[in-house]
Structure 1
Amino acid sequence: MNKGDLIERISREAGLSKAQAGNALDAFTASVIEVLKQGKAVSMIGFGTFQVSQRAARRGRHPQTGAEIVIPASKSPTFKAGKGLKDAVN
């Protein structure tokens, strides 16, 4: 399912126009991104939690030359599925 398919489904399920459903989806994603940028988590009971995890700096190897390189520390967005979502899928 891509974004267009999701907008169409939201439109049908919620009784909204496709434009309204698209705006709602865009507002949701923008809100999640903004909260994650602040280092906070977004938790939706029964669905899951979006959060930011820290990845420590580490040593690696350049795949072409084999030279050792330092991979810098970074932040990565993660999603942990909630019990309701896990149960629905299984």
Structure 2
Amino acid sequence: MNKRELIEKAAEATGQPVKVVTAVLDAVLDTIQTAVANDDTVSITGWGKFELAKRAARTARNPHTGEPMPLAPTVRPVFRAGTGFVGLTRQKHAASK
């Protein structure tokens, strides 16, 4: 499912116009992105948590030469599914087996 399909499903489920649902979804996604970029955690109980994963500077090896090479510290956004989300996923997949 892509963003457009998600918006159409949400508009159908809520009875709201597609324009309104698009504006709300864009605002929610922008808020999550801004919060995580500012090193905040966004938690939605039972659904999941958006946060920033930090990796310290380290030394790695070049696979071709075997030479050590320094790697700078990095950050990346991560999503951790909540218990409700995980439970529903497991329930749906267990029923299909």
**Which TM-score band applies after superposition, normalised by the shorter structure?**
0.7 to 0.9
Give the TM-score of the pair, scaled to structure 1.
Answer: 0.86
Identity of matched residues, %: 31
Alpha-carbon distance in structure 1 between the residues aligned to 2:40 and 2:74: 16
Q: What 5-or-longer segments of structure 2 have no aligned partner?
A: 91-97
CA distance, structure 1, for counterparts of residue 52 and residue 79 of structure 2: 9
Structure number with bigger Rg? 2
Q: Identify the residue that residue 71 of structure 1 maps to in structure 2.
A: 71
Q: How does 1:1-90 map to 2 (within 5 A)?
A: 1-61=1-61, 68-90=68-90
Aligned pairs, number: 90
RMSD over equivalenced CA pairs, Å: 1.6
For residues 65 and 12 of structure 2, the distance between their equivalents in structure 1, rounded to whole angstroms, comes to: 53
Unpaired runs of 5+ residues, structure 1, are none
Per-residue CA deviations over 1:33-81 (Å, capped at 9, x if unaligned) read 1111221100000101111110112233556776543221111111111
Q: Which amino acid counterpart does residue 21 of structure 1 have in structure 2?
A: V
